[in-house]
Chains A and B, each alone.
Chain A
Amino acid sequence: MSSVAQPSEPRRNDAGPDQNQRVASVEFFVVQFLTGLASAASLFLVASGLSIIFGVTRIVNFAHGAFYMLGAYVAYTLTDRFEGFFGFWGGIVVAALVVAAVGALLEIVLLRRIYRAPELFQLLATFGVTLMVQDLVVMIWGPEDLVGPRAPGLRGAVDILGLAVPTYDLFLIVLGPLVLGGLWILFHRTRWGVLVRAATQDRDMVAALGVNQTWLFTSVFALGIFLAGLGGALQIPRNAVTHLMDLSIIVEVFVVVVIGGLGSVLGAFIAAVLVSELNAFGILIFPKISIVLVFLVMACVLIVRPWGLLGRAEGPARQPAGLSIRPWRPMSQNQRLIMLAVVVAAGFAPFVTGDYALTVLAEIAVFALFAASLHFLMTVGGLASFGHAAYFGLGAYGAAFATTMFGMPMIGSLLLGPLLGVAGAILFGWFCVRLSGVYFAMLTLAFAQIAWSIAFQWVEVTGGDNGILGVWPASWASSPATFYWLALAVSVIGIVALRVLVFSPFGYALRATRDSALRSEAIGIDRSRVQWAAFVIAGTFAGIAGALFAFLKGSVFPDNLAIPMSVDGLVMVLLGGIETVSGAVVGAIVYKALAIWLVSQTDLSKLVLGAIIVLLVVAFPKGIVGFAEDLLARRRTRADDGGSAARTAPAKATAPTSGSGAAPIAAPKMEAAR
């Protein structure tokens, strides 16, 4: 995956580079402030849509940025090709309506199946949709940036304190509060709005009063997507339309709703203004850390108010991702022997394959360790991190610094490099374990973005986008075969260590905090300390994998700690089977092999990958290992059905619950755990 988020795209009619050169005067600050306000309008539209959707459906819609982008593309087509038909303003509104209809379709086809799934599945499914839209957009509109028409009547500029402010910016500045007011009226003066507010607090009670939640959800989702599409459509006179706008806006929108409080429209407005002004002035005052600045503010807000400025404490957490009906067991003697045989067989690979295959296999080994470390945090610890690549990437950068700056030998770099990942995990983890659920996921994502921003922006040290080159292994390990053995050995040792931890007293304590934070604290477990330790352990092993990766590739890039890398890790764990102990490793092997093969086979790898993710979540939520264990358990049950048929509770079909379709994930499986 190529694109990485960047808080602000270049603006066409920004205050302009020539003006940036001038001495920063009072007038200039006023104009910069107005530019910030104008940017806030679109950001607010998109963020309020995300917030409204979350409030009622409890889904954090990762695809929101994709709909924002679609809004811009559709508006481009409507205003450029069909201007005579709709006019400019008609085109903008119709574009938002078209996108809202697509959103409603997505809700009906996909989201209804996963409302009761763990939030991780929802984030992943909507991320899969994002991937698919990225390829579809390029298929339909091509890869080039598109420049839309200007708004009729608002083409010029207004003279404010001697500086030119685009009229369109002034229009946006007025529009933001107007939409805020309109939404307030909608939610407070119509029955639909009152129902939405009621459902935000207690969906089941609303159903118990005879309201059809299914259509309430669909209409709320359509409204939220309409706002996203409108936000995108309104951008076309200001910015070029590109197929990278989705990820750049979604990160900013996440920051806005987290600062403002998920579910609060007014909070989204305040936070959108705050974030836009930080962007507008950050670039002037702290150009070095302008991208980081927003994330720093977000981290500060979350520490003081964990649910955002105007947000409310979350209700009881849903079933955490790792919870399993089938208890985990350490491997039996036989299973251990089988594993040993598999590892030994893997060790023979250099005698049967060529150099390219060995590089691929080494990469798979590295990612197996990375996935295992994420699995430890998210399945064993119940903490679904959306920014685990940060510690992988920090480990990679650590190794690169040790090699290129301090001239360390490879072994030294491999030992010291991961310490940077450990340090990052200690620092970020301390903040993150104070939160749970979606807020935890979003905060980990934000910290990963901070790490990414530093790597991207601190060019003197990190080389910025050009990365650090020349991180080659020592001469004794430079042949693909030796490096593969090294990677395999480190990876196996790491995975075994993590597995031992799962069945250690610490592992039991960690699983207790996952299964019930309250009860584990009641029996004397220091929850936040245990989770923090798990966070650091996971970060450590991710860092080790990252350091290996740096030497495997001979280079490090900001991409190593970007969102797509974090999501890769999540997909690996999910593909392998989230409720199982060994799923991550299997998932990493299959996913990495599949991804490498896919890229060589098709130009539409994102479309295929996105579809696979969506399919996994909806149809195959237990993953490969979970599926295999189900099969095995079923066969065993059938085998001794002779004697003990009535051992399990009656498994007859039962009536569905209220409104929204029951997800396959929601129903706990009743197969006997043996």
Chain B
Amino acid sequence: MKLEVHQLNSFYGPAHILFDVDINVGPGEVVALLGRNGAGKSTTFRSIVGLVARREGRILFEGEDITARPTHEIVRRGLGYVPEDRRIFTELTVEENLMVGEQPERTGAPRWTPEKLYTLFPNLGEMRGRLGGRMSGGEQQMLTIARTLMGNPSLVLLDEPSEGLAPKIVEEMANAILAMKNEGLSIVLSEQNLHFARLISDRAYIIESGRIRFGGTIRELEESPDIRDAYLAV
């Protein structure tokens, strides 16, 4: 297993958010974490990379326990994280944003350079000197993914990559994620949009009120409309 999350419980202050969450990701797999707004998708990701102060349970990355490690160490082991709200450095140019993400090459993980990323996201290549704050939402989404890839991760957590994007950009995004998969990356993406997730994922989990309600292949999910209706339909 690439990533194993066992019995994860998370808290914001006195509020208990995640209850006994279990997630497994194999090498080269694309796994979708589906759920409605506020179901606990982002908290799951933030807990895995150590950005939630109070969390219990066990998180293994490439077989090693990373539960108690600080965020930067977790990321340096090759576990990349792309936040939901993009969090571009608005005062930095595209090139400088990429420079912040830069980490040494890693064996067993695809190696990324700014040039290679500009081919994956051609829009970025045309605005290398532009300030992050002067980019459209779609461009920022591409930049935040590219910035994380600069760390040469072997697994990436993508928090709602299609959120708030125009349909045409969503399609580009799906192609980019498939290209990342073809490079050998393992990917976990959180989504509210089942159609987008179906295009690119191998397996899916459904999270609702902080608990995992379903885990299985995309095909299994498609064959159980009652589950879809119960946890995903709006």
Contacts and interface: CB of A to CB of B under 8 A. Distances in A.
Nearest to A312: B91
Contact of B49 (A191, A200, A208): A208
Nearest to A208: B81
A191 B71 contact: no
Nearest to B67: A655
Contacts of A659: 70-72
B72 A205 contact: no
A204 B74 CA distance: 13
Contacts of A206: 100
Given A211-B72, A659-B70, A194 B49 contact: no
A212 to B, nearest CB: 5
A319 to B, nearest CB: 10
Interface in B66-114: 67-68, 70-72, 75-76, 81, 83, 87, 89-92, 96-97, 99-103
A656 to B, nearest CB: 7
Given A201-B91, A209-B100, A649-B11, A657 B50 contact: yes
Nearest to A657: B53
B91 A197 contact: yes
Interface in A648-664: 649-650, 652, 654-659, 662
B51 A657 contact: yes
A17 interface: no
A655 to B, nearest CB: 5
B89 A202 contact: yes
Interface residues of A, number: 32
Nearest to B86: A205
Given A209-B148, A213-B72, A654 B55 contact: yes
B54 interface: yes
B163 interface: no
A201 B89 contact: yes
Contacts of A666: 53
B16 interface: yes
A10 interface: no
Contacts of A208: 49, 51, 71-72, 75, 81, 83
Contacts of A213: 72
Contacts of B75: 207-210
Contacts of B203: none
Contact of A655 (B55, B92, B96, B100): B55
B42 to A, nearest CB: 13
Residue among A206, A209, A662, A670 having the largest count of chain B Cβ atoms under 10 Å: A209
A26 interface: no
B71 A654 contact: no
What band does the interface of chain B fall in when counting residues whose beta carbon is under 8 Å from A?
35 or more
A21 to B, nearest CB: 50
B172 interface: no
A667 interface: yes
Nearest to A649: B14
Contacts of B71: 204, 207-208, 657-659
Contacts of B68: 655-656
Contacts of B148: 209
Interface string B137-180: 00000000001100100000000000000000000000000000
B100 to A, nearest CB: 5
A211 B50 contact: no
B50 A655 contact: yes
B202 interface: no
A593 interface: no
A668 to B, nearest CB: 6
A195 interface: yes
A667 B53 contact: yes
B63 interface: no
14 contacts: A191-B99, A197-B91, A198-B89, A198-B100, A206-B100, A207-B71, A208-B75, A209-B103, A209-B151, A210-B75, A210-B151, A211-B72, A658-B50, A668-B14
- Give 10 nearest A-B pairs by CB, closest first: A658-B71, A210-B75, A654-B54, A207-B71, A205-B87, A210-B76, A198-B100, A655-B68, A198-B89, A657-B53
Given A198-B96, A211-B100, A667-B53, 11 more contacts: A191-B99, A195-B100, A200-B91, A201-B92, A209-B101, A210-B101, A210-B103, A210-B151, A649-B14, A658-B70, A670-B14
Interface of B: 11, 13-14, 16, 49-56, 67-68, 70-72, 75-76, 81, 83, 87, 89-92, 96-97, 99-103, 147-148, 151
Interface of A: 191, 194-195, 197-198, 200-202, 204-213, 649-650, 652, 654-659, 662, 666-668, 670
